[in-house]
A and B are shown apart, each in its own frame.
Chain A
Amino acid sequence: MSQVLFQQLANSLVDGDPDATFDLTKQALAQGIEPLAIINQGLVPGMNIVGDKFATGEYFLPDLIIAAEGMQRAMQLLEPELSRRQQELSIPGTVVIGTVKGDIHEIGKSLVATMLSANGFKVHDLGVNVPTDKFISAVQDSNADILGLSALLTTTMVEQQKIIQALKEAGLRSKVKIMVGGAPVTRSWAEEIEADGYAEDAMGAVRLAKFLVGGTV
């Protein structure tokens, strides 16, 4: 019985139908199926299929993103159930991400955030025009493994440097890996400001994040 439901859950992600994913998750919980089983036997296999189809060129970014959306909506139902059972999900890492102060460019940052979620990371997206102190407190509060800083303008990319400096002053620099991105950002800039990594596109950011948390690329 639950096998059929797991299959339907996986299919709802593959078909890009977040409403169905949400409803099926609700249904599964109502039937008393364990949240970890829902995740590991329904949602994760579905996300893996989506990821494989993306890798082979059959699927594209909207397919990934809508699947991630379905996953997120399911997790809204599952997370309270997990904490009630004092269970934890094993994830590759926690990421705090945002576009720096003075910069309101959203698309690239959101794409990276979504791709990281789609790959299992727990992502706190702080949005755009984020002041330095907000990044610092978010890193502290969430115990983040990675901080992602986006800047689309040559005038705002200096903020990345300022944030790294502020992290040092707060004694947090060694606790978090920093990745930077955005159109004007280059590898040499990343090195100059002592970031831990730089990627030019969302797929590169995922590879980098996996590498930074100690996994394999």
Chain B
Amino acid sequence: MAIQAPYRPMLKIITEELTVQIIQEAIELLQDPGVLVHNPEALKLMADAGAGVDFGKQLVSIPANMVHTALTTAPSTFYLYDLLGNPVVHYGGNDVHFDPGSTAVTLLGDQKGVQRDPLTDDLVRFVKLVETLPAYDAQSTAFVCRDVPAEIGDLYRLYLALNYMRKPIITGAFGKDTWWTMWEMLVTVAGGERELASKPIAVFDVCPTPPLLWSDLTVQNLMDCARKGVPAELVSMPLAGTTSPVTLAAAVVEHAAESLSGVVIHQLTAPGAPIVWGGAPAAFDMRTGTTPMGDVNTWLIDCAYIQVGKYLNLPTHTYMGSSDAKLLDAQSGIESAGGTILSALSGANMVSGGGMLDFLRCQSFEKLIIDAEIIGMAKRLMAGIQARDEPVARDLMRQTAHKANFLSHTHTHKWFRKELYIPTPLLDRGSLDAWRLAGSKSITDRASEIIDGLLSSYQPSPLPQKLLDELRTIATTVAQKFGLQTLPALPQD
């Protein structure tokens, strides 16, 4: 008997029959009632390609063959590169990567639930912290700094991240013009337009509006990404029970219809440009009227649409692993662990959400660190169980028979690092005495205490100062249009 190849545990949440039906109904919906597109250029593009366009209503009826064509040109896989030029994120297959949740508007300020405005120094510290945590494969433009005008909020956070990151980044634009500034900064870092397209370092999230609407801004971002070969990540977010039907399979149909329309527009703009089947749907909370992310209903929609994306042979993304709690408490633990583990078992190529609380409104340094532990466990789970020896145990156990001496056995020394995921000391695995001796602390206390230590291991940006100066000039030029003459100083350490 040969040693078996590693078996990767995978979650299938819906049958293949239902998957096919979801896709079929989505394609039928794109024809009738069609999709609203609030952008003249996109309307013309689709009309020229043979879609039925009502320019007055800004309504497009997409024929099925146009969807099928787009699906044949959309690549099934691509890589994101770090700033040193290494391919570090593989969008494709069942590879799973993690990045922090994006675009929070507040920061958790203390352990009593106070949320405060994030500032430049906070984002710099956050980007550095993400660099030091191996659990995160990519950066995200994690929150919006309040010490610059809102009009440059999107590009300013990318500007800050580019100053301190090595890992690739998941980002997004809030405007049509700012996308171009962000692209210009990325081109500057990559060393040219062609270099950026051949070795992308960033992905742009683009979010259709449920149900079945592309706003002027998002569809422009989508087309610009395609044209420039910068990967776009579709983030469709049906809200089951309000902006989509309450039945979960129907929410997945709506997600598929919106996402397919995105693939069509994107591939019509530039066939073969990289695009991701992503999302951030939720099941509406019927008691409070909120949009819970750490919710089993939401997770079911997520897992199902990821499965649909895989069936279509597209790279996938999801928003899982965040919590709606306002504190780092048992609720935040339950919700973050549940989502993270399910996303890993679903094989989503990029999972966003680390650090996030309060319906994706609030980022937390401590939660980012705690979530890294969950991600560590999830990654171990994905590796599954392998037969390390042949026979698996028989010969070894015949040698040792009834002695419980495996701890001193060379077999243990040989395998324990490969077999066992060993968490960092952030998780308390010691005795009661040891825990008391260390001050009877919670995991949040411990996370808080290691932030500075982690930051001290941060490796500065590999980019030359001249290039960083160029980035500053680009960002400053735009800031001045909005009345900010000088950007906030970068922290000096």
Binding site for B on A (CB under 8 A): 16, 18, 57, 60-63, 65-66, 69, 106-107, 110-111, 114, 199-201, 203-204
Q: Knowing that A62-B408, A201-B433, A204-B433 are A-B contacts, what are 16 other residue pairs whose CB atoms are under 8 Å apart, sorted by A's residue number?
A: A16-B413, A18-B410, A60-B416, A60-B422, A62-B416, A66-B408, A66-B410, A69-B408, A106-B404, A111-B407, A114-B407, A199-B433, A200-B434, A201-B430, A203-B434, A204-B434
A199 to B432: give the CA distance in the assembly, Å. 10
* Contact residues in A for B433 (Cβ distance below 8 Å): 199-201, 204
Chain A residues touching B, majority SS: helix
A69 to B431: give the CA distance in the assembly, Å. 25
CB distance from B426 to the nearest CB of A (A): 11
A199 to B431: give the CA distance in the assembly, Å. 10
Asked if B431 contacts A201 (CB within 8 A), the reply is: yes
Given contacts A200-B434, A204-B431, contact A107 B407 (CB under 8 A): yes
Ordered by A's residue number, 23 sampled pairs between the chains whose C-beta atoms are within 8 Å are: A16-B410, A18-B410, A57-B424, A57-B425, A60-B417, A61-B407, A63-B413, A65-B407, A65-B408, A66-B410, A66-B413, A69-B408, A106-B404, A107-B404, A111-B407, A114-B408, A200-B432, A200-B433, A200-B434, A201-B430, A201-B433, A204-B431, A204-B433
A114 to B404: give the CA distance in the assembly, Å. 14
Binding site for A on B (CB under 8 A): 404-405, 407-408, 410, 412-413, 416-417, 422, 424-425, 430-434
A32 to B431: give the CA distance in the assembly, Å. 47
CB distance from A97 to the nearest CB of B (A): 15
* Contact residues in A for B407 (Cβ distance below 8 Å): 61-62, 65, 107, 110-111, 114
* Contact residues in A for B430 (Cβ distance below 8 Å): 201
CB distance from A129 to the nearest CB of B (A): 14
CB distance from A203 to the nearest CB of B (A): 7
A200 to B431: give the CA distance in the assembly, Å. 6
Instruction: List the 6 closest pairs (A to B, CB-CB), nearest first.
Output: A200-B431, A200-B433, A201-B431, A66-B413, A62-B413, A65-B408
* Contact residues in B for A62 (Cβ distance below 8 Å): 407-408, 412-413, 416
* Contact residues in A for B412 (Cβ distance below 8 Å): 62
A63 to B420: give the CA distance in the assembly, Å. 14
A60 to B422: give the CA distance in the assembly, Å. 9
A63 to B431: give the CA distance in the assembly, Å. 20
Q: Tally of A-B residue pairs with Cβ under 8 A?
A: 43
CB distance from B109 to the nearest CB of A (A): 30
Q: Which residue of B lies closest to A203 (CB)?
A: B434
CB distance from A49 to the nearest CB of B (A): 16
A95 to B455: give the CA distance in the assembly, Å. 44
CB distance from B407 to the nearest CB of A (A): 6
* Contact residues in B for A18 (Cβ distance below 8 Å): 410
CB distance from B404 to the nearest CB of A (A): 6
* Contact residues in B for A69 (Cβ distance below 8 Å): 408
* Contact residues in B for A114 (Cβ distance below 8 Å): 407-408
* Contact residues in A for B416 (Cβ distance below 8 Å): 60, 62
A62 to B431: give the CA distance in the assembly, Å. 19
Q: Which residue of A lies closest to B432 (CB)?
A: A200
A114 to B405: give the CA distance in the assembly, Å. 12
CB distance from A60 to the nearest CB of B (A): 7
* Contact residues in A for B422 (Cβ distance below 8 Å): 60
CB distance from B71 to the nearest CB of A (A): 48
* Contact residues in B for A60 (Cβ distance below 8 Å): 416-417, 422
* Contact residues in B for A57 (Cβ distance below 8 Å): 424-425
Q: Which residue of A lies closest to B436 (CB)?
A: A200
* Contact residues in B for A203 (Cβ distance below 8 Å): 434
CB distance from B154 to the nearest CB of A (A): 39
A199 to B407: give the CA distance in the assembly, Å. 21
CB distance from A179 to the nearest CB of B (A): 13
CB distance from A8 to the nearest CB of B (A): 19
CB distance from B428 to the nearest CB of A (A): 12
CB distance from A105 to the nearest CB of B (A): 9
* Contact residues in A for B405 (Cβ distance below 8 Å): 110
A200 to B437: give the CA distance in the assembly, Å. 11
* Contact residues in B for A204 (Cβ distance below 8 Å): 431, 433-434
CB distance from B132 to the nearest CB of A (A): 15
Q: Which residue of A lies closest to B403 (CB)?
A: A106
Asked if A201 contacts B404 (CB within 8 A), the reply is: no
Q: Which residue of B lies closest to A198 (CB)?
A: B433
A110 to B409: give the CA distance in the assembly, Å. 13
CB distance from B319 to the nearest CB of A (A): 32
A109 to B425: give the CA distance in the assembly, Å. 24
A106 to B405: give the CA distance in the assembly, Å. 9
A149 to B38: give the CA distance in the assembly, Å. 79
